[in-house]
Every structure is written in structure tokens, then in C-alpha cells.
Structure 1
Amino acid sequence: MAPEKIIIDTDPGVDDILALLLALSASAEEIELLLISLTFGNIDVENCLRNTVSLFHVLEKELAWRKQTGRPEGYGSLRRYKPVVAVGADRPLEDQILMADYFHGADGLGGVHTKAPHFTPAELSRHLFHSPSADSAPIPPDSPTPLPHEALFTPSRSPAHLAILEQLKRHPPHTVTIIAIGPLTNLALAAAHDPETFLLAKEVVIMSGTIELEGNVTPTAEFNAYADAVAAARVFALTSPEPTRTMPPGRSLASYPPVLSQRLNLTIFPLDITTMHLLNEGEFDALTAPLREAGSPLALWASVFIHATFRKMESLYVAAAGGEGVKRVQDVDISLHDPLCVWYMITKAVSGWKGVEGRDVRVDATGQWTRGMYVVDRRTRKKATEEEVQGNEEVQGDCDGWLHPRWGNRVRQMVESPDRDGFGRAMIQRIFL
């Protein structure tokens, strides 16, 4: 069976790195990672690049250590394929920039570059990548020889949104899935630049938003949706039979053509499902402590930022309990928001994945208090039929086309996975063992 061809659009903080590791540790028959496209989000895009290059630097050391110690190399996808890495958006389309460094640390990985500097490469070869501030920055004539970890990926001089379109053009239509686990700015830029090519994606899978749960940056908004609500609204509009009906009012990018050949196949993983998929600290330590003692570079590196995240969560638990709180380290969990989207791509053929099809989910891009909110229609009225409406007239008593058969967005909301309780363990086993 052919592997799933994927692009991962990401803002590498802790759970993003785990998502990338999960994809790269897949077998060559499961996943072919074509492109890692970077966006601002958890941290600024320069730190996103440093974290990504460091990831490959550590993986180069890990593969050498596994070979030297006679362990199974694993990472079949990484060893067979060579993903492109492209630098993308450094700010949202219109909103004020927001980053989550308050949670992930200033470097996005809990201070790993200062706590364990030997895992950060001295040379990031920044000149080999697109620069958001200098689109045509020249390559120095005496460029250094590529470092060993650079053999594992290909730097891109194209901005991320163009690199996404390049991959979609390079492969047969509807064979490449885009997994977006950060703000959707790169995707919105790609769709605005060439909407018909963007619609050649087999599926766009996003970790974004919340439906029934409270938000994690405002009472109603999840971070990725809030960080660039205009971009999210523009991507969602491509799922509508009439995209102009749900386009946000922003003017940063041109409108889509009035007629498009097809609708976007969009699958959303909101907080409602991702929050419930957990990694427990006690279980993480039980599985990885022997590897750290044996000298695994990957286990030693990852434990720095994963434990930093456990400590952050512990402080939040204690604060929520009014000073009382977690007494045992085994009680601390972190949600695996981003890795769940990759797990879906690896195991989507397994029974147990459940989604709600055709939900009209719209993103509020301009609300004073509701920016980034996922708005759904909770009324009990049924949608009108084609026979009950004439042309583009609204349904009587309904504004903005919530009950109209052709208006509104059409997304798939994932609500259940095959093994919620076992996912954290399965992920750690794949990545580290």
C-alpha cells in the first residue's frame, strides 16, 4: 500500500515537535513527509526554524547511536524520504501578533537550547532558507559545507505558501494531505495565490478551534484560531458551495474567484477531541528513563522540554486548585493536541475514528470579544431544501444562510479516536523505542 503523502504546516513548540517525530518515526509504507512548512505561532518563525533544524540534528545523532548500539533504527519514513523545510509567515494577515511563548518558553521548547546547548547545532545554515524580511537574500559565495543533519532534509528558498503549492503541483491531484497544527496563515496565503491548485489537496487536517469546550486563550477561542482568525475564516470559506458567503471582511488578500471547481475537504480536530488525548509523566518516565540512562540523544533532548511542559502544567493545576493541587508526579498530564492529527493519518484506516460530516462551522474574524470563535448553529430548526428556496434568497426567519442548503461551510469535525487512553503510550513507543 502506498504511503500517505503529507505536508505538515507547523509552529514548532513542544507538541508540534512530538507531531513531527511521530510522522518521521512512521514506517516508509505509512507516511511520506514531503514538506515541513513553518509559521509563526507558539514562537517567532526564526525560533521555529532553529527548533526544526535542531530536531534533525538530534535525529542524526540518534540514528548513529542506535546503529552503534545495535538497536533497531526505526524512523523508516525519515530514512527513505527527505522532506523539504520551508520558512513561512512571520505575522498574521491582519491581527496583532500573538505567540504562546508564555506556555512553551521563549524558544518554544522550554529553554532546551540553554539547558542542553550541545543538542543545538552551531550552524543553522539560515542563508539556505527563504527569509520573510528579505525575499531575495543572496547566498554567500563561500557557503559552508552542509552539516550531517542537513542530509536528512532539503532547505527551501521558496516561502512556505509557495512551497506548499509546489508540492501540490508535483504530485497527482488529491494525493497530498496538508496537516496544519499552527495558525493557518501559510494555508491562507497559498489559497489566495492559487486557489485551484490549493484545492488539489486530498484533505486538509487542522488542529484548531473549539466547539463545546472553553477556549485556551479567550473564553471562546483556541490559540491557533485566535492567532490568525482571518486566515482561518478564509480557509474555512473554501469548504462552502459559495465561498463568498462566509469570507471574512478583511482586505489583506484578494477574494476568491466567484466560481471554483471544487470544495475543500477540511477535517478539524478542535480542543473537544484533542484535549482528552493525554501523555502522563509517570508513564513517559517509565518508558524513556532506560533510554536516557543508555545515552539516547533523542530521549535526553526531548526529556528536557517535555518535563518543562509537565512542570508548567503542574503549576497550572496548583493555581487552579488555589494552592493545593498535584501531590504526585504521576498525576501530571499534557494534552497531545498536534500529534493526534498525525496519528489520524497513520491509523485512519483503523475502525474507531468518528467524525460529524458537513458541519457548518464558521470562524469569527472580527468580533470584539469573540475573535477566533468557532460559531455553529445550535438551533433545532432543520435546513431548508433546494425546493424551499428560490435562487439565493434567505430562508425566512434566518439570517446569514445558516439554514440555506447552499450557504455556509461544510467541514468534518472529528469527535472520537480508536484508542483515546492508549494513544500517549503508543506515541512514545513509536518515537523512542
Structure 2
Amino acid sequence: MAKRSIIIDTDPGQDDAIAIALAVASPDELEILGLSIVAGNVPLKRTVDNGLKVLELCGRPDIPVHAGADRPLLEALVTAEHVHGETGLNGVDLPDPAMPVADKHAVDFLIDTIMEHPEKSITICALGPLTNIAVALAREPRIGPRLDQIVLMGGAMAEGGNITPSAEFNIYVDPQAAALVFRSGIPLVVLPLDVTHKAPTTPERIARFAALDNRCGPAYAGLLDFAKRFDEEKYGSVGGPLHDPMTVAWLLRPDIFKGRHVNVEIETSSPLTRGMTVVDWWDVTDRLPNALFIREVDDEAFFDLLVSRFASLP
């Protein structure tokens, strides 16, 4: 597998932290150019701090962290402390970060980095609301054709929503930004709730992280243990879905996923279905496919990948 250069656009909660760590633990396949941070799971100040904390936990304070949008394009910010806790990283007590925030705004970082690198050499892993990416595309449209692809966690089809009956959180928070990205013509890979709900963090799986002989394994076990409690209470499940790491896992092991190229449109105007991803799975419209929409995963292979890579972390 050729090495990919990636930018991780993220609003760090527990599952974002797992995704970042998986990318850090895969240096042979992935070069992380930086984190671009957006408000989402918690407000921007906390998501920035969480990005710094995660990189320090993983032993990579050299990766720059850029603060970005603190609110959606048009909507009031909706956050998810009810899921992730007040800090966004409840479940482990990490020290205040020592590494500084990069001077450049995340949008400027996205534009400059994409324009400075060869065409089709950068992939964006989008783990939160798509505000930073949408603003960057609006400010500098030339970056769109230069991107290799955007691999994003967001949306849902048969699973319904997790913040409203019809909408997944990341898309709901900034539907206008999502609509711009989905209409951009950039190749998209979408990891929706339909696939993330098929890989629950059971106690046995969390125990595999806790048993790792490093500092990251037990720390991430604590994050996973906290994160699952909301979904267990809400759905009556054993464990909870592990959303954002599937974006990085797809880059590393696309063979363990299955999906279909389809058209996906974003509802922006209806108060009842704001943020809904309207997925033309059965090709019943004349709209052209704009995304590879993933719905199946080998969950055992997914967790085997996570644990084996996390064993290499500090």
C-alpha cells in the first residue's frame, strides 16, 4: 500500500481520539500533516485542547494542531456533552497539554497545505461537522480538484438518526457545510451509522485495550468504557458503536468494508429532517453518484486492527 498524506479534521471526543491514535499508530501507511479542529462534540476551546492532549498521549507533539471554526455556517452550535461528557474526553484524566496550538487558522492550513502539495496527494479524514472544509472550499475552490478524496464519518440511511429521528450528529450540526461538501465533486467515502453500529465496543473488546502493556491501551479503554454508557442506556445494547475510527480503518483495510457508489443529498431547509442524508441506494433518481456509502464491516477484523496497532503506541 502506498503511503498516504492525510489531514484529520476533527472535533475530538472519545471516538475521534481513537481515530487519531489509529492514524498515529500506522506510520508506514499514513503521514499525518496536521489536525484541523472544529467545534462539535464540545465547544472549540475543548476540542482544541483534546486534540493536543491526544497527540501528547500518543507521543506525537510534532503534529501541528490548528484551531478552526467555532460555530456552524448558519446554525447555532449544538454540542454533545450528554454523550461525551463535559470535557469531550471523559473516561480518562489527561494532563493539560504542553504543546502549543499552531498559529495558522485551520481553514488557512487546509488551503495552504492542499495548494502546496502535488495534486491528488492529500486525503482529508473528516470526523466532525464539515464547517472547516466547507469554508476552505468556498474561499479557495481550487483545492477541491487537488484533493485525492475525503473520507468522512457522518450520515445514516436505515439506522435513522442519533441526534434527531432523521439526522446523524455531524451532519445535523452544520447541514449547509455538509451540503457544500457533498456537492463539491470531490470523491467521498462515507462511513455512516449504518456501518458504525455494526461494531460495538463490548466489554471483551475493551478489555483487549486495557490489557495492552503501554500507557495508551488502558487510557483508551477508559475512554471507550465511558463512551459506551450512553448508547447502552439509549439502545439497550451491549457496548456502543465506535464511529470515527472507521474512517482511518477504511484507509488501512478497505477490504473489510462493503458499500456502494450512490447519490447522497443533504436536507438543509426542513425543520423536521434538518441534516438528513437522503441516500439513493436503489438508484431511483437521475442524480449521479457522489459518494461511496459504506454499510458493512467485518467487525472482528476491525477490532483486531485497532488492538494490533495500539500495541505499538507508547
- In structure 2, the residue matched to 1:416 is 296
Q: d(CA) in 1 for partners of 2:75 and 2:233?
A: 30
Q: Distance in 2 between matches of 1:352 and 1:297?
A: 28
Partner residue of 1:342 out of 244, 248, 257: 248
The structure whose Rg is larger is: 1
Aligned pairs (5 A) from 1:143-292: 156-239=102-185, 264-289=186-211, 291=213
C-alpha separation in 2, matches of 1:198 and 1:12: 24
The counterpart of 1:306, out of the listed 224, 244, 263, is 224
Cα distance per residue 1:57-76 (max 9 Å; x no partner):
3233xxxxxxxxxxxxxxxx
What CA distance in whole angstroms lies between the structure 1 residues aligned with 2:192 and 2:203? Answer: 23
2:278 corresponds to which residue? 375
SS in 2 for 1:235: helix
Q: Pick from 74, 77, 82: which aligns with 1:102? A: 82
* 2:290 aligned partner, one-letter code: R
Partners of 2:206 and 2:221 within 8 A in 1: no
Instruction: State the identity as a percent.
Output: 31
Instruction: Report what 2:72 is aligned to.
Output: 92
Aligned to 1:120: 95
CA contact (8 A) 1:278 1:336 kept: yes
Mapped pair 1:431 → 2:307: no
TM-score, length basis structure 1: 0.67
Alpha carbons of 1:300 and 1:360: their partners in 2 closer, same or farther (altered >3 Å)?
closer
CA distance in 2, matches of 1:13, 1:341: 15
Give the C-alpha shift of residue 287 in structure 1.
4.6
| Conserved 8 A contact 1:57-1:120 | no
**Structure 1 residue 123: Cα displacement:** 4.3
SS of residue in 2 equivalent to 1:32 = strand
**Pair 188,344 (structure 1): closer, same or farther in 2 beyond 3 Å:** same
Q: For the structure 1 residues 290 and 169, does the alpha-carbon distance in structure 2 shift closer, same or farther, using more than 3 Å as the test? A: closer
Inter-partner Cα distance in structure 1 for 2:50 and 2:145? 30
- What residue identity is the alignment partner of 2:127? I
1:425 Cα offset (Å): 3.3
1:286-323 deviation per Cα after TM superposition (whole angstroms, max 9, x unaligned): 452363xxxx3323433332221233334335xx5xxx
User: What's the secondary structure of 1:157's corresponding residue?
Assistant: coil
Report what 1:356 is aligned to: 260
| 3-state DSSP of counterpart to 1:206 | strand
Residue 48 of structure 1 is matched in structure 2 by 47
* Counterparts in 2 of 1:59 and 1:15: CA distance versus 1, 3 Å: same
CA distance in 1, matches of 2:127, 2:137: 17
AA of the residue aligned to 1:57: E
Could you tell me which runs of 5 or more consecutive residues in structure 1 were left unpaired when the two chains were aligned: 61-77, 130-155, 240-263, 321-330, 382-401
In structure 1, how many angstroms separate the alpha carbons of the residues matched to 2:283 and 2:215? 55
1:52 Cα offset (Å): 1.5
Q: Distance in 1 between matches of 2:58 and 2:174?
A: 32
Post-superposition Cα deviations, 1:352-381, rounded to whole Å, max 9, x if no partner, equal: 543312x22110011110000112347875
Measured at CA, do residues 165 and 282 of structure 1 come closer, stay the same or move farther in structure 2, by a change above 3 Å?
Answer: same
Could you say if the C-alpha distance between residues 290 and 39 of structure 1 is closer, same or farther in structure 2, counting changes exceeding 3 Å? closer
State the partner residue of 1:246: none
Distance change in 2, residues 1:267/1:59 (3 Å): closer
Q: Structure 1 residues 102, 122: CA separation in 2 closer, same or farther (over 3 Å shift)?
A: same
Distance change (3 Å), C-alpha of 1:410 and 1:160: same
Deviation of 1:409 after TM superposition, in Å, equals: 5.8
TM-score (norm. length: structure 2) = 0.91
How many Å separate the matches in 1 of 2:294 and 2:97? 41
Preserved CA contact (<8 Å) 1:336 1:424 = no
Distance across 2 between alignment mates of 1:223 and 1:378: 21
- Amino acid paired to 2:104: S
Gap regions ≥5 residues in structure 2: none
CA contact (8 A) 2:209 2:220 kept: no
* 8 Å Cα contact 1:57/1:121 also seen in 2: no
Q: Is the 8 A contact 2:229 2:239 kept in 1?
A: no
Question: 1:9, 1:179 within 8 Å by CA — same for their partners in 2?
Answer: yes
- The answer to whether the 8 Å contact 2:155/2:171 transfers is yes
2:256 and 2:301 in contact (8 A); partners too: no
Please provide the CA RMSD for this pair.
2.3
